[in-house]
Amino acid sequence: MKKRLVILGAGESGTGAALLGNANGFDVFVSDAGSIKPGFRNELAAAGIDFEEGEHTVSRILNADVLVKSPGIPDNASIVKRLLDKGIRSISEIEFAAGFVKNAKTICITGSNGKTTTTMLTYSLLKKAGMNVAMAGNVGKSFARVVAETPADFYVIELSSFQLDGMFNFKADVAVLMNITPDHLDRYDNDMQNYINSKFRIVQNQGPDDVFIYFNDDESIKKELGSRHILSQLIPFSLKGKRPGNGAGLVGDSLLLEFNKKTYEMSIYDLALQGKHNACNSMAAAIVGMISGIRNDFIRECLSDFRGVEHRLEKYLTVHGIEFINDSKATNINSAWYALESMTKPTVLILGGVDKGNDYSHLYELVRSKVKAIVCLGKDNSRIVNAFSSIVPNIVETQSMEHAVKSAYFLAETGDAVLLSPACASFDLFNNYEDRGKQFKEAVRNL
């Protein structure tokens, strides 16, 4: 008799899990309380997979042998609570897919900021070296879809805290933790320790043959390492110099790396991605490269010509001497801080959206030194105006991207930069941060 696989949510992860389960003989049922996007609906129908949308039919869900939940569905959702009451625990699509991976290495990357860039940089590095590698998870295709369609020898997987929460038996051969700063705390009872615990699930089940790469300057990470017994090999990276032994550090204007007595050095000015946060991303990816046996010349080539991630400090166009930079992916204060830290020109900052309880004081020093004007972009801009009115002489409120870009253009002068780095979620005016970034680029093109 076929095992019954029930999947809640028919987005990329849910559809990927459905396709993988269907290919491996499961009786698959997909349930989405909202409307399923046409592309995913067509894929499910073409594969003959049973699905529903607009509701959760409890009787068709409670008989699951395996239950996979979309990471976007919170644990306090009514259907999840009913399942837990029946003793049915949901797992993530990542956990489900891992059961079908044989003889392949998993390189798993998480963090509050920088994980997408590091994931793509690591994938590019392994790909350039000729390895049979696939990229999946919180960026691009779901892990389940990749396992079903394009099996590989190495999987580079970006993991959000929500995905980690649904992972229990999964093990990362190489785990990378970029940083931990407050984000999504509404999903963690507004308790920072709960969020930290979620991020540290990246090292669960690791043993002495596995590797944990981490940012040694992060106070939350250092504190946790002092109280946890982690069995894997610990490899730190730092902006404050390099410790003896395996690891990486910024020393003067150079990145220094070492693994098993093999060393590598590169000038930060040769990196394709500039800024201290990108030095961290580059160090983490380079360590993975060294662990994987990639030659230094491949590492240098990749770090020096990587094109970067769309919507993350994306230098888009220069219009009449004004540079427009798309950093729509900056949905929290820490991301916006890193963006401002990298700016070398007088900056007009486009800020705003759905405020997740931001403490804007963390940006004060950089705003004072680098920002000449702020353009607010959101339905409610009051907290931003109140936070910066005594620091920035020019603050403009807008409620559309076209108005925001035009306002920034008129506030800027030749030699300045306009930076979209909102520090907020996008859902008040846009579908998601990608939609916000695309509208920014369209408005810039129309100037």
CA distances from 159 to 107, 235, 278, 361, 378 (A): 10, 19, 19, 29, 29
The crossing angle, in degrees rounded to 10, of helices 296-305 and 115-128 is: 130
Q: What is the C-alpha separation between 387 and 44, in angstroms, rounded?
A: 48
pLDDT at residue 382 tops 80: yes
User: Is there a single domain that holds both residue 148 and residue 268?
Assistant: yes
Q: What is the C-alpha separation between 96 and 91, in angstroms, rounded?
A: 7
pLDDT at residue 419 tops 80: yes
Mean pLDDT value across residues 125-142: 92
Q: What is the C-alpha separation between 240 and 250, in angstroms, rounded?
A: 6
User: Is there a single domain that holds both residue 72 and residue 217?
Assistant: no
User: Is there a single domain that holds both residue 28 and residue 121?
Assistant: no
Q: What is the pLDDT of residue 157?
A: 97
pLDDT at residue 198 tops 80: yes
Q: What is the pLDDT of residue 436?
A: 96
Q: What is the pLDDT of residue 429?
A: 92
pLDDT at residue 277 tops 90: no
Mean pLDDT value across residues 30-44: 94
User: Is there a single domain that holds both residue 15 and residue 59?
Assistant: yes
- Residue 371: pLDDT band by 50, 70, 90 thresholds? very high
pLDDT at residue 86 tops 90: no
User: Is there a single domain that holds both residue 221 and residue 239?
Assistant: yes
Mean pLDDT value across residues 312-317: 87
pLDDT at residue 356 tops 80: no
Which of 284, 305, 326 is the last residue before a domain boundary? Answer: 305
Residue 418's closest CA among 329, 353, 322, 339? 322
pLDDT at residue 391 tops 80: yes
pLDDT at residue 259 tops 90: yes
Mean pLDDT value across residues 230-235: 95
pTM for the structure as a whole: 0.78
Are the beta carbons of 33 and 79 closer than 8 angstroms? Answer: yes
Count structural domains, the chain.
Answer: 3
User: Is there a single domain that holds both residue 294 and residue 149?
Assistant: yes
Are the beta carbons of 314 and 386 closer than 8 angstroms? Answer: no
- Supply the mean pLDDT for the chain: 92
User: Is there a single domain that holds both residue 111 and residue 38?
Assistant: no
Q: Which run of H or of E encompasses 84?
A: helix 78-85
- Residue 181: pLDDT band by 50, 70, 90 thresholds? confident
Give Cα 128 to chain centroid, integer Å.
22
pLDDT at residue 446 tops 90: yes
Q: What is the pLDDT of residue 273?
A: 78
Are the beta carbons of 142 and 17 closer than 8 angstroms? Answer: yes
Which of 305, 324, 343 is the last residue before a domain boundary? Answer: 305
Give Cα 117 to chain centroid, integer Å.
8
User: Is there a single domain that holds both residue 203 and residue 107?
Assistant: yes
Mean pLDDT value across residues 105-110: 97
Which of 282, 305, 328 is the last residue before a domain boundary? Answer: 305
Please give the residue range of the domain that contains residue 196: 97-305
* CATH number of the domain where residue 65 is located: 3.40.50.720
Q: For a pLDDT cut of 90, what percent of the chain falls above it?
A: 71
User: Is there a single domain that holds both residue 266 and residue 364?
Assistant: no
Residue 295 C-beta-side C-alpha neighbours within 13 Å: 6
* CATH number of the domain where residue 441 is located: 3.90.190.20
User: Is there a single domain that holds both residue 233 and residue 355?
Assistant: no
Q: Which two tokens stand for residue 429?
A: 């005016």
User: Is there a single domain that holds both residue 196 and residue 290?
Assistant: yes
Residue 292's closest CA among 104, 139, 99, 100? 104
> 45-83: per-residue pLDDT in tens?
999 999 999 999 999 998 899 999 998 888 888 888 888
pLDDT at residue 189 tops 80: no
Of 84-93, 217-226, 314-323, give the lowest mean pLDDT range. 84-93
* CATH number of the domain where residue 166 is located: 3.40.1190.10
CA angle 26, 31, 33 (to 5 degrees): 170
Are the beta carbons of 177 and 111 closer than 8 angstroms? Answer: yes
Q: Which two tokens stand for residue 316?
A: 């888009």
Are the beta carbons of 409 and 447 closer than 8 angstroms? Answer: yes
Count other C-beta atoms under 10 Å from residue 414's C-beta.
8
Strand partners, 238: 249
Q: What is the C-alpha separation between 26 and 77, in angstroms, rounded?
A: 26
Q: Which two tokens stand for residue 422?
A: 């909102």
- Residue 310: pLDDT band by 50, 70, 90 thresholds? confident
pLDDT at residue 42 tops 90: yes
Burial of residue 317 (number of CB atoms within 10 Å: 0-12, 13-18, 19+): middle
User: Is there a single domain that holds both residue 373 and residue 233?
Assistant: no
Q: What is the pLDDT of residue 233?
A: 96
